[in-house]
Chain A
Amino acid sequence: MSFSKYLLQRLIYAFLVLIVISFLIFMIVQLPRGDAVDRIVNARQAQGDIITEEDEAALRAQYGLDKPVYVQYFNWAAQFARGNMGHSMLGIPVDKLINERIAATVLLSVISLVVTYALAVPIGIYSATHQYSLGDYFWTFVGFIGLATPNFLLALILLFLFHKFFGLSIGGLFSPGVEEQPWSPAKALDLLNHLWIPIIVIVTAQTAGTIRTMRATLLDELGQQYVVTARAKGLRYRQLLFKYPVRLALNPVVNSIGYILPRLISGQTIVAIVLNLPTLGPLLFSALLAEDLELATSILMIQSILAVIGVILGDIILSAYDPRIRMEKGVT
């Protein structure tokens, strides 16, 4: 099987998965009692309007809510596939609300992932090659502190400290007024200035796990026969360390892209709320509170799509990285 064929196969599977997910999301969001028409009726009655049963039925027909659930689903899915996500309860097109936030979400997630690996992999290598040394214990300690500290708490503490000592407001991704400006070096710099706080908060929680994975698998690999073989050939320890055991120990780390990336994309809601980040998480949260069903459904769907893309990326990177995976799947 060629690589493009493998890719095509993965994309077809991903599409099928998304169809199942979309059905589940649609059903779950519809589960609470009452529908959009009930809410409109309630709102209008509260304003003193008198609404007859016929008016209600007319409204249901207008929104297609008089049809069976599966018909509603197909109508919704067909609209969604065309990029038409309807309007939020505030009357703003859903796709406009979401588009603003996708970029920020992806940017934060990808940078967090890269920083996590850039920190965790070297520390994991150090910990494994210096097992039970002071440095090993130190990094283990730091890692677990990071893992145990609630993210939002760390975010609050950082906000407070920066405000108190530097008089800075570090919420959001831009300084007030900058976001509306067109892209310029100054705007990019402003973004960088705001970006690193959420990155620190998110990375602190992610790194410990990856350090532990890296340390454990590398320790495992260091005991393997091929390490002895390489030594017997006359290789320097450092040469062989990076060529063989580290390469193999990175395997589960590379594999974890497939689930860490989706977690970053759909998680971090509380941190984003605390830091006032324009990502999808807070938008979903407020949509759910307001029972803004069209908005919530669309956000969940977009998050699922991003997550599935993350999984595919992880798969592709892994198959490029490990010939065993490639051969097993018959990819050449």
Chain B
Amino acid sequence: MSDVVLEVKDLHTYFELEEGTLKAVNGVSFTIRKNRTLGIVGESGCGKSVTAQSIMRITPKKNSRINGQILLHHDSGPIDIAQLDEDSDQMRDLRGRDIAMIFQEPMTAFSPVHTIGNQIMEALFVHGENDKRAARKRVISLLDEVGIPAPERRIDEYSFQLSGGMRQRSMIAMAIVLNPRLLIADEPTTALDVTIQSQILRLMKRLQRDNGMAIIFITHDLGVIASMADDVAVMYLGKIVEYGASREIFKNPKHPYTKGLLRSIPKFGEKDGAHLATIKGTVPVPLDPPDACPFANRCGEFIAGKCDVRMPAAIHVAPGHSVNCVLYE
């Protein structure tokens, strides 16, 4: 177990709204190891981003509530992030140093009135670096490492002077500047065009090979998951409904939702004019959801009296491959 970086156990993240309790993450568990990539996939509103924000403890302070365990493993033993005060020095120290995050919108993720270099070096200064020259040197070499040409010039430019791909590279540089053990990437390529997308994915893989960091890769794009992730968690309405090795999930999907997602990927060579398969309806808002299968109301294989009475338990259908569905009980 020594290579386990993070263990999430029965995580619940609730938001108290005027309309009621929004159960954005509702009992999620997974383990992530060094040098491995876990892909979390699901539609908008399934709770994948909130899962990431919970690990970073950057959910809106006013009305969010976190329950369960988020164990960050250190040589000195595990720290339960869920128990920390989000504003405590200990939590701030973990952010950026042990766990770093890259975001979907590289345009808005940088302040437009501070230079890229200023914002990347800041991560170093926050975590104890005092030597400005050394920090600048480190950032220039890092910008070079993530593939930004003329880094000694780019370091003094503003985010609006860079292209989308350059911005995301800078974002990645900012995240890995302190060699974090866990990198959370929340839809890092969604806002980029396809060629840039594949460059960024290659970059992330190379960095992982060099640094051995664990990556949580959040996306709704199954194609990206297939090329990036070792393991896949399929999320729906705040719950993981299927979990397994990437290859296994793509070859042998079990949950009707996973099957539906895979069917809805357009493929080459399909008949012209054929309709792309879709999943009916949209993800409901998880305000006081019933304690039943969350997918029941959209499922093509719905069994009345079974699916709508309780949450199905996780069934192991193959080694390392589990699914929460009554069909396999």
Contacts and interface: CB of A to CB of B under 8 A. Distances in A.
Of the listed residues B93, B94, B111, B122, the one surrounded by the most CB atoms of chain A closer than 10 A to its CB is B111
Interface stretch (B98-106, B234-242, B292-300): B98-106
Q: Chain B CB within 10 Å — which of A226, A233, A323 has the most? A: A233
B160 A327 contact: yes
Contacts of A237: 87
B160 A324 contact: yes
A327 B100 CA distance: 31
A230 B125 CA distance: 12
B160 A233 contact: no
A236 interface: yes
Given A226-B110, A244-B111, A323-B158, A234 B93 contact: yes
Contacts of A228: 58, 103, 109
B58 A231 contact: yes
Main SS at interface, chain A:
helix
Interface in B57-74: 58
A242 B101 CA distance: 22
B44 interface: no
A232 B185 CA distance: 12
Given A229-B103, A323-B113, A234 B126 contact: yes
A228 B103 CA distance: 9
Contacts of A51: none
Contacts of B122: 230, 233, 235
B101 A232 contact: yes
A44 interface: no
B100 A232 contact: yes
Given A224-B108, A225-B105, A234 B160 contact: no
Contact of B109 (A226, A235, A243, A248): A226
A226 B96 contact: no
B220 interface: no
Nearest to B184: A232
B290 interface: no
B284 interface: no
Contact of B92 (A226, A235, A323): A235
B42 to A, nearest CB: 20
Interface string B116-130: 000100110011000
B323 interface: no
Most buried by A among B94, B105, B122, B171: B122
Contacts of B160: 324, 327
B292 to A, nearest CB: 34
A232 B95 CA distance: 6
A323 B114 CA distance: 8
Contacts of A229: 103, 109-110, 119, 171, 174
A56 interface: no
A233 B174 contact: yes
Interface in A247-273: 247-248
A66 interface: no
A225 B108 contact: yes
Contacts of B96: 232-234
A135 B39 CA distance: 45
A174 to B, nearest CB: 44
B255 interface: no
A220 interface: no
B56 interface: yes
Contacts of B114: 243-244
Given A232-B56, A232-B101, A323-B158, A226 B95 contact: no
Nearest to A323: B158
B158 A327 contact: yes
B154 interface: no
B153 to A, nearest CB: 14
Given A323-B158, A327-B160, A233 B111 contact: no
Interface string B38-82: 000000000000000000101000000000000000000000000
Nearest to A224: B108
Contacts of A244: 111, 114
A35 interface: no
Contact of B95 (A224, A233, A248): A233
B12 to A, nearest CB: 21
Interface in B140-184: 158, 160-161, 171, 174
B325 to A, nearest CB: 35
B113 A236 contact: no
A228 B102 CA distance: 10
B254 interface: no
A73 to B, nearest CB: 45
A274 B304 CA distance: 82
A304 to B, nearest CB: 33
B81 to A, nearest CB: 13
Contacts of A232: 56, 58, 95-96, 100-101
A327 B161 contact: yes
A233 B126 contact: yes
A239 B105 CA distance: 23
A322 interface: yes
19 contacts: A225-B103, A225-B105, A225-B109, A226-B109, A230-B111, A231-B95, A232-B58, A232-B100, A232-B101, A233-B123, A234-B92, A234-B97, A234-B123, A234-B127, A235-B122, A243-B114, A244-B114, A324-B158, A324-B160
Given A224-B108, A232-B95, A327-B158, 6 more contacts: A228-B103, A232-B96, A232-B100, A233-B95, A233-B174, A244-B114
